[in-house]
Every structure is written in C-alpha cells, then in structure tokens.
C-alpha cells in the first residue's frame, strides 16, 4: 500500500509541475502583468524545464517594458527547446533591441540557414539589415586605417564593427593596435582580452587582462579582474604583462613588492628604480628604493632617492627616512602669530581686519573682526565681514548666523548683501528643504517642445556630508517620437519617483545616487506601469567674471559638467559638458542680458550615436528685475555634429534654434 501511495503522489506532483499555472494565465487575461510575472516565476520554480512557461513569462515582461529580462527568459526557453523557431526569432529581435548586436546577428544567421521557409525569409531580412551596415562600415574604416595607421578613432571604430560582426581575432588585433596608440586607454585591453578568450588565445588574453587589472582607473581594473582567473599572478605573468605594457606603473610597483617579499632584492631594486623614474611623484617607491640602496651600503644612491621624500609634505614618510639615516626628527616651524587686536575702542582691530581680509590672511582677519565686534556689537559692517570671513573659511554654519544678524542693518546696502548671502546659505542647514526647478524649451530641429523638471524634498542628518531625499522628476516632450519608418523616442516621456542621497557641494562639485521607478505616460506596452530606474552621477558648475545679475558689465565664463549613470539605457554613463563665454551687458530699465558663445559636448560609454555630438553657436540670456531672480530666458542658435557614424535617418550635421526659460526655487 505504501509504495502505491508514493507512486501516486509522485505522478500527481509531476503533472502539476508540468501543467501551466492557471492563476498566471488568469492574471494575463486581466492584464495584471505584475501578478502574472510573480505567478509565472513560482510556476518555473516548480517546473524549471518548461520552455513554455519561460516563453510566456518573457511575453509578460515585455508588457512592462523590461526587455532585458524578457530577452533572458527567451534565451533560457530557447536552450530548453532549440526547435521553437518563434522563440528563436523573439530572442534575436530582443538581442538587437537591447544593443546586443553581435548576438542578434548570430541568431539571425543561424535561423536563415536552418529555419522554415517563412522563418528563413524573416531572418534573412533581419540579418541583412544588421550585416550590411557592418560590412560597409568595415570596408570604409579598413580603407581609412590603411591610409592612416596612426588614426586612433578609425582603429577603434573598425575594432567595434569587427566585434559586432563576430570576427573575434581581427577585432582583438585592432583593439590592441588602438591601445598602443593611446596606452592610457586600458579599457581597450579588456575589450581585446574578451575577444582573445573567444578566439582561443587564452595566454594573450591573460596577459592583457593582468595589465588592465592594474590600471589606475578603478572601473577598468574591476572589469579586468572579473575576467581573470581567481588566483594571484606568477612573476612570469607579471613580466609578460609588463612586456606588453611597459608604462604601467601600478603593475611594475606590485611586481617590485612581490619580488621584495620573495627575497629577490636585486630584482626588486631594479623594478623600484624604474617606478621612481616613470613616476617621480611616487614617494613610497622612492623611499623603498632608498631603503634597499642603504641596506647594501650605497649611501650616496640612497640619499639621492631620499632627497625627493625629504622635500615633500609627507611627514610620516619623512620621519621614517630620517630614522633610517639616523638624523634627528625635523622641527616644525610655527607661523608667526598676528599682532593682538588693538584694545583702544576696536577701531584699530577693524582696520587690521580689513587689511588681513584683503591680503587673504583669513584666520588673522577673523581674530580682528571678532575683537572689533566685541568693542562695538552694533557695527553691522563688522557682522557682514564676519559672515564673509567664515564663509571663505568654509565654516558656513557660523557664516549664516552672522549674515542673519547683518541683514537687520539700517544701511540698505549692508542689509541687501547680507540677505542675499543668507538666502544662499541657509537652505543647506535647514532640517527639511524643498527644491523645485523646471526647464521647458522649444527645439526647431525636432519641431518639439521639451520639458525637464524636478521637485525634491531632502532631510538634513546632523553634520553628515550627505542628505537623503525624495524626488519626483518629469522628462517629456509633446511629439513622443520622430515619426519615421523606424521611429526614435525624443525623450523618456516619464515621471520618475525615487529615493536618493546627495552629497554637499565641494568646490562646485557634488555626487548623487537614487533608486526608484519610471512611469511612462505614453506607449502602449508600458501604459501606467512602473519600470525600475536607477540613476546616479556627479555634477560640477563654476562661473567666473561678471555673471548674470552682477551690477557691473563685463566678460564672463561658465561651465557645467554632469556625468549621469542611467540603468534603463543599458547601464549607460553619459557626460554632458555645457560651456558659455561672453559679455554681460549693462542693466537697462530693469533688464539684464548676456551675449555669449556656446561650446557643448555630449558623449557616453555605450558609444550610442545619439549620445555623442558637439554643438557650437551664439546665444543670449535675459532676466528682469521685476521678476524672481531665478527666472531666466534664453535663446540659442546651435550648429551640431555627431561624433560617431550615423546610420539612423538623423542627419550627421544639424542646426537647432532653442528657446526656453529656466526657473528654480528653494524653501
């Protein structure tokens, strides 16, 4: 009886595992994509070998706009059922859509040779649409490389096209040729190694990866380590990598310490000497070389190496060197203290404070102004000077307190200056802060109205150098797509809700990161559905000269640099550099205006054609005193050019008239 019961339970559980999940399909019919996705995943856990469940999960994921996850499900379904041509076509098209062009090409190539007549026809057209531009591009860039072998950009373009076409060994050789032209671009070594592994040239790949893994750029080093074997390299492998990349100081330094650890001091000394010659600022290598020379009684050579360290500001390293040379510890010189404030009424202290402030001796100026305030607590000019001094000393919390006192001055000029400074500094010390900005503008190139904006509420957590925040962004336009045969989206057309964290500004720079969801308000496949969205980056802004709002006319220059990571663009990192230089005109009838020249550059790590272009052209900015100072109107006439070969209908060179306004507020 017991064996029969066990067999019956086994048959029932097997049948349930192989049958479709009824609730998942009910959720599909109800268009409840999120519930369907969760139920399909449960069903796949029970029946991991079911290609049908994975295929249906892929279609549900497509309804939410998660094309990368859908692609992965179709790939797994195709592995389980290689004969399903529909799955194979879906997978190939999704590879193309998610920028895996080489994988899409291989999939279409296989289907056009092995599929049914209908499938072969579809795959043939798709394959030709991918392969023809690659063939033509390879022929074009091969001719350029043949004529100008030192052309770095041509080498890289040719390598990427060969890579996308599956020609692994030639692509790897082109990546290496491009890297030899610019040895600091070690990410090209990672690309070459990836292809060398695929081409069966494992030893060459390991050498390239070892050199790249000791790059000074953390992202490149991490990418290389992911492909390396999980073991520490041998000395012979270090030497092979240095033969490939002799200028790699990080790699040579590590080899030198490895040799030192192994007791091979003569070889370690030789490597440290080369590091010291290649990188004169590497004080640790210079000190270690000096210790080795001193150990073998080469005191003149050691002194020559130690001299570089003794002239530096590294007190700890200097102490070690002086101890090795048996020299007395260095005495630190004290800077002479400023004269004590004048005790007779504070007038002398105020004058001395002004002199110290103008000369840039801010600590002395602070002492004198504090003494002047004690002598005359009602002098609002001294309060304002205390605010500016604390501000320049980066003690803004103290500066805000003095600006708040100074803005109560009966002198309108002092009150105005203090109020403006107070409003600029106070928000960063508020417990809660609400900021909002908007930038709508019209583009004649796209005949479209675009708008970008954000509302953000952030929280101050004591003296921590960052603030968490809740953000709502809007990114959209009125047209949606270009309207061509293969339409391109003109913007994200989304509301983005996110939680994030942002650092304080330091010398005009700050960093931020956020995680949330993007809700497209257009598009049939993602209507009303949220897609995960992860963003982060750094921002830098700096202005010099007579900026808009200055009382005096004159020349000015501004730069705005932003680097932004966006997960939904294939984990792409985009860099925007916007620069203006021009002249601020004298104010007339409450109108303030600037005429300037634009120089803008945009590029990305994904090397997508739409994200790599340069723009130049004139522009004007206007602001009226009767309106809020943060409302600025601008008109720019730009001529631009794409930096990568353009294969879409967009023109490689374009004109654009942009007119719009920007507005911001902080509470």
96 contacts: CB under 8 Å, gap ≥ 6: 104, 126, 130
What's the mean pLDDT in 587-602?
90
Is there a contact between 399 and 385 (Cβ–Cβ < 8 Å)?
no
Q: Is 17-135 assigned to CATH 1.25.40.10?
A: yes
What's the mean pLDDT in 372-390?
85
Q: 31-45, 167-181, 569-583, 596-610: which range is least confident on average?
A: 31-45
Q: What pLDDT is recorded for position 295?
A: 82
Is there a contact between 402 and 384 (Cβ–Cβ < 8 Å)?
yes
Q: What pLDDT is recorded for position 481?
A: 63
Q: What pLDDT is recorded for position 488?
A: 59
186 contacts: CB under 8 Å, gap ≥ 6: 179, 211, 212, 215, 217, 220, 224, 245, 248
Per-residue pLDDT reduced to its tens digit, 465-487: 888 999 999 888 887 665 554 45
Roughly how many angstroms between the first and final C-alpha of the chain, as a whole number? 78
Q: 29-43, 150-164, 226-240, 425-439: which range is least confident on average?
A: 425-439
pLDDT, mean over the chain: 81
Q: What pLDDT is recorded for position 36?
A: 82
Separation of alpha carbons 606 and 618, rounded Å: 30
Q: What pLDDT is recorded for position 57?
A: 85
pLDDT at position 3 over 50: no
Tokens of 126: 């798709």
What's the mean pLDDT in 27-47?
83
For 432-666, the fitting CATH number among 2.40.128, 2.60.40, 1.20.5, 1.10.357 is 2.40.128
Say yes or no: do domains 17-135 and 347-429 share a fold.
yes
Backbone angles phi, psi at 47, to 5 degrees: -135, 75
What's the mean pLDDT in 361-375?
83
Q: What pLDDT is recorded for position 471?
A: 92
646 contacts: CB under 8 Å, gap ≥ 6: 609, 652
Q: What pLDDT is recorded for position 341?
A: 45
- The model's confidence at residue 408, banded by pLDDT at 50, 70 and 90, is confident
Q: Tell me, letter by letter, the H, E, C secondary structure of 314-327.
A: CHHHHHHHHHHCCC
27 contacts: CB under 8 Å, gap ≥ 6: 33, 35, 36, 39
Map out the domains of the chain as residue ranges: 17-135, 347-429, 432-666
Q: Where is 385: in which H helix or E strand?
A: helix 380-392
Q: What pLDDT is recorded for position 220?
A: 85
Q: 179-193, 298-312, 475-489, 613-627: which range is least confident on average?
A: 475-489
pLDDT at position 90 over 50: yes
**Comparison of pLDDT for 508 and 19, the residue scoring more:** 508
What's the mean pLDDT in 195-202?
87
What's the mean pLDDT in 35-55?
84
From the list 230, 291, 233, 278, the residue with the least C-alpha distance to 258 is 233
- The model's confidence at residue 18, banded by pLDDT at 50, 70 and 90, is very low
pLDDT at position 458 over 80: yes
Is there a contact between 350 and 358 (Cβ–Cβ < 8 Å)?
no
What's the mean pLDDT in 257-266?
87
614 contacts: CB under 8 Å, gap ≥ 6: 600, 601, 602, 640, 641, 643
What is the share, in percent, of the chain residues with pLDDT greater than 90? Answer: 14
What's the mean pLDDT in 386-394?
84
- The model's confidence at residue 14, banded by pLDDT at 50, 70 and 90, is very low
pLDDT at position 401 over 60: yes
What's the mean pLDDT in 344-356?
70
Among left, alpha and beta (phi > 0; psi -120 to 50; other), residue 65 is left
Q: What pLDDT is recorded for position 327?
A: 54
Q: Bridge-partner residues for 635, per DSSP? A: 620, 659
Per-residue pLDDT reduced to its tens digit, 489-501: 667 788 889 999 9
Q: What pLDDT is recorded for position 167?
A: 83
What's the mean pLDDT in 528-549?
84
What's the mean pLDDT in 367-381?
83
pTM above 0.75, yes or no: no
- The model's confidence at residue 303, banded by pLDDT at 50, 70 and 90, is confident
What's the mean pLDDT in 556-579?
90
Residue 647 CB coordination number (10 Å): 11
- The model's confidence at residue 9, banded by pLDDT at 50, 70 and 90, is very low
Q: Which CATH superfamily is domain 347-429 in?
A: Tetratricopeptide repeat domain (1.25.40.10)
Q: What pLDDT is recorded for position 332?
A: 42
């Amino acid at each position: 009886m017991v064996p029969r019961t066990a067999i019956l339970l086994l048959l029932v559980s097997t049948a349930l595992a192989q049958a479709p999940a009824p609730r998942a399909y009910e959720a599909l019919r109800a268009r409840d994509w999120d519930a369907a996705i969760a139920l399909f995943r449960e069903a796949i856990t029970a029946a991991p070998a079911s290609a049908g469940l994975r295929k249906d999960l892929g279609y549900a994921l497509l309804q939410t706009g998660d094309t990368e996850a859908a692609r992965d499900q179709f790939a797994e379904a195709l592995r389980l059922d290689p004969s399903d041509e529909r799955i194979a076509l879906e997978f190939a098209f999704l590879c193309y859509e998610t920028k895996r062009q080489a994988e899409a090409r291989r999939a279409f190539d296989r289907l056009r040779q092995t599929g049914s007549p209908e499938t072969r026809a579809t795959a043939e057209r798709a394959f030709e649409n991918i392969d023809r531009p690659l063939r033509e591009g390879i022929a074009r860039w091969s001719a350029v490389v043949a004529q100008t072998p030192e052309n770095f950009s041509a080498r890289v373009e040719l390598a990427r096209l060969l890579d996308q076409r599956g020609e692994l060994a030639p692509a790897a050789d082109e990546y290496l040729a491009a890297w030899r032209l610019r040895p600091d671009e070690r990410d090209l070594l990672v690309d070459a190694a990836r292809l060398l592994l695929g081409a069966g040239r494992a030893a060459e790949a390991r050498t390239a990866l070892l050199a790249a893994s000791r790059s000074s750029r953390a992202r490149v080093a991490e990418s290389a380590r992911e492909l390396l074997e999980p073991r520490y390299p041998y000395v012979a492998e270090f030497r092979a990598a240095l033969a490939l990349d002799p200028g790699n100081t990080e790699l040579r330094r590590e080899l030198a310490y490895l040799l030192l650890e192994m007791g091979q001091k003569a070889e370690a000394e030789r490597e440290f000497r080369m590091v010291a010659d290649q990188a004169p600022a590497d004080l640790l290598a210079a000190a270690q070389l000096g210790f080795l020379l001193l150990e073998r009684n080469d005191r003149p050579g050691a002194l020559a190496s130690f001299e570089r360290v003794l002239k530096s500001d590294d007190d700890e390293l200097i102490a070690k060197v002086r101890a090795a040379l048996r020299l007395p510890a260095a005495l630190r010189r004290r800077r002479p203290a400023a004269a004590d404030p004048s005790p007779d009424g504070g007038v002398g202290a105020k004058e001395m404070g002004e002199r110290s402030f103008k000369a840039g001796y801010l600590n002395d100026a602070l002492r004198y102004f504090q003494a002047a305030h004690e002598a005359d607590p009602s002098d609002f000019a001294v309060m304002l000077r205390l605010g500016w001094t604390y501000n320049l000393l980066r003690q803004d919390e103290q500066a805000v307190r003095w600006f708040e006192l100074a803005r109560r001055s009966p002198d309108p000029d002092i009150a105005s200056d203090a109020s403006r400074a107070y409003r600029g500094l106070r928000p960063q010390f508020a417990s809660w802060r609400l900021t909002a900005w908007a930038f709508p503008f019209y583009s004649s190139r796209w005949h479209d109205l675009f708008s970008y904006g954000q509302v953000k509420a952030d929280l101050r957590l004591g003296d921590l150098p960052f603030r968490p925040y809740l953000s709502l962004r809007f990114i959209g336009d009125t047209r949606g797509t270009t309207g061509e045969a293969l339409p391109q989206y003109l913007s994200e057309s989304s509301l983005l809700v996110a939680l994030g964290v942002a650092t304080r500004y330091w010398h005009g720079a700050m960093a931020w990161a956020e995680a949330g969801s993007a809700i497209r308000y257009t598009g049939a496949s993602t209507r009303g559905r949220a897609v995960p969205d992860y963003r982060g980056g750094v921002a830098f802004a700096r202005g010099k000269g007579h900026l808009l709002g200055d009382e005096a006319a004159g020349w000015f220059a501004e730069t705005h640099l932003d680097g932004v990571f966006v997960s939904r663009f294939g984990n792409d990192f985009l860099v925007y550099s916007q620069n203006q230089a021009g002249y601020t005109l004298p104010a007339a009838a409450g109108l303030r205006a600037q005429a300037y020249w634009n120089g803008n550059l945009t590029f990305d790590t994904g090397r997508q054609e739409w994200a790599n272009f340069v723009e130049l052209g004139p522009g004007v900015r206007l602001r009226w005193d009767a309106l809020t100072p943060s409302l600025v109107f601008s008109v720019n006439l730009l001529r631009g050019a794409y930096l990568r070969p353009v294969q879409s209908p967009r023109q490689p060179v374009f004109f654009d008239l942009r007119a719009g306004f920007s507005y911001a507020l902080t509470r």
